[in-house]
Structure 1
C-alpha cells in the first residue's frame, strides 16, 4: 500500500486553512466531475482522487490523524525506509471513522451554488483507496445529488466482521499470510511482523478484522517484544566458562558464558527478540536462562577429584 500525499493531490500547502482547501476542491471537482467529462475514465479517477483527498483533510479529526501518519511516514523515509512500512498501527478500529460519505444537498449547494449542474449525476462513484480505508474506515465516494432537484444520495453501511486467526511465534517473527474464505471470495491476508495475541489486522476495503492469537511455543516465552529461553549447560562449562550455541528465531548464534556461571543466571542478548510491530526493523531482546546439568556416571578418578574439591572448599 502506498502513502497518499493529499496536499499534493489538491495542490495546497500543508498549512492551508479550511477555506483555501474548500475553494481548491470546488474548482477541481467542477473540472473533473464525470458529468462534465462523460466517458472519460481518467477524469473520473481524478475526481475520485481529489474527493478522497478533500474528505481526508477537510474533516478536523481525520486531518489530525493524517498529519500523524504523514509525519511518522516521512521520518521513516528519512531513516532509510527499509522494508515495508507498517500500516497496521494506524488502522481504523471497528466502528471508527466514516464508512460511506456522500455530499448532502446542503453541502452541494454551498459548494457549487444553488443552480447545480446542468447534467444529471450518475452516482457511480468507486470505493475509497486502501490507504484511506485503512486510516478512516471503508467507504464509497458518490458523486453528489441527482440532477438539480438535489435528490438525497443513498448512504450505505457495512458491518465489520472479526475472524480469529491462530499463528505460530515463528510466523509472528517473520510475518505471514492467511487465505481467508469469506463465503463469497477467497482473500490473501498479509499479517505483519511483530503481531501479538490480541492484535487486530484489518483487511482494507473488506470489512474484516483478523483477531490474532499466538500459539504457545515449546522453546520461547514472550513478554512484549522480549523472549526468554532455557539453555542447559553442563557443570564443567559453567565452572570453566566457554561457548554455547543458542537458537534464536533469526538463526543459531554462538554465545560465550564466563567462568563460574551460576544456575538460574540470565544473560541478555540484545536485539535477538521479536520485531517491533510499529518498527519492524527494530527488535526486542532474548534472555537466556541458564539451567545447570550435573554430570552422571562419573568414573572413580572423577569422583575422587570432585571429593578433593569438595573437601577443599567445604568451609567457603
Structure 2
C-alpha cells in the first residue's frame, strides 16, 4: 500500500493551522473542480486526491492519527525502510478498536445507504486504499466519507445517528453560482435528490433538505444538511453582500476624465471618471453587488477599484508631447 503525504498534496506545512489548510484546499478545489474541467479525468482524480487529503487533516481526530502514522513512517524510511515492508497493522482500523473510530465493512456501508451503496466501483466514494485502511470504510461512523454522482456532484458526507440519521456534507460552488443560484443532483442510497442553492448564499451557509436523510428504526427520516463552500474568484472578492473588482482606466481618461466600463456579475456598468483620478480609488456602484439571501430585489454594493493602465504604443508625437509637458512641469 502506498503512503500518501496529505500535507504535500495540499501544499501546506505539517504545522499549518485549519485556516491555512482550508484556504489551500479551496484554491486547489477551484482549479481541479470537475464542473470546471468537464471530461478531464486527470483533474477529476486530482480533485478526489485533494478532497481526501482535506478530509484527513481538517478533522482533529483524523489529523492526530495521521500525524502519528506519518512520523513513524518517516522514521522507518530514515532507518532504510523501503518497499512494502512497513507494518501498517498498528494503524489499520479494526472492529472493536478503542483507540480510533472502528472500520465499517462494505456490507455495513451499503446498509447505511439503504442496501444500495454507490454505482460501480465507487462504493468508497473515491477514497484510496490508504485512506480507507487507516480511517475505515467511509471514515467510520464519527468521521467523514465521500461519495460522488458520476455526472453532477462530488461531496464528502459524515453520518450521525439520530431518530433517523442526518446526512451532512459539503458542496463547492462558484461565485457566479452563488450570484444566480444553482442546483446540484445528489445520489444517495439509489435516490437522486435535487438540492436548490438559493442566490445570495454565503460561504459556510447550510442548506437543509428535510426528510432526505437516512430512515430511523421507527420509520422517521433524518435531514440532508449541506454546507456550501464558495470557491475563490479570480476577479472579485466578497465581503458580506458587497463585491470588489478591478476597474482598468487608461492614462488619458485618468487625467482628463471620461467614462469607463466595469464588468459586474450582473453585467457591464458604465462609470463616470472625474479628472485626476488616482490609481486605487474606489467607485461605489449601489445595488450591483451580491443578492441578499432571502430578500427579493435586494443587493449589496459593488466597489470598482481603479487601476491606471499606461499605453504601450505611444507614437513619437505623443512621446514628444509628454516630454515637453514633463519639462514644463519641472520648471514650475
State which structure, 1 or 2, has the greater radius of gyration over its C-alpha atoms. Answer: 1
Counting strand residues as a fraction of each chain, which structure ranks higher? 2
- TM-score between the two structures when normalised by the length of structure 1: 0.49
TM-score by length of 2: 0.46
Point out which structure has higher relative CO (alpha carbons under 8 A, 6+ apart): 1
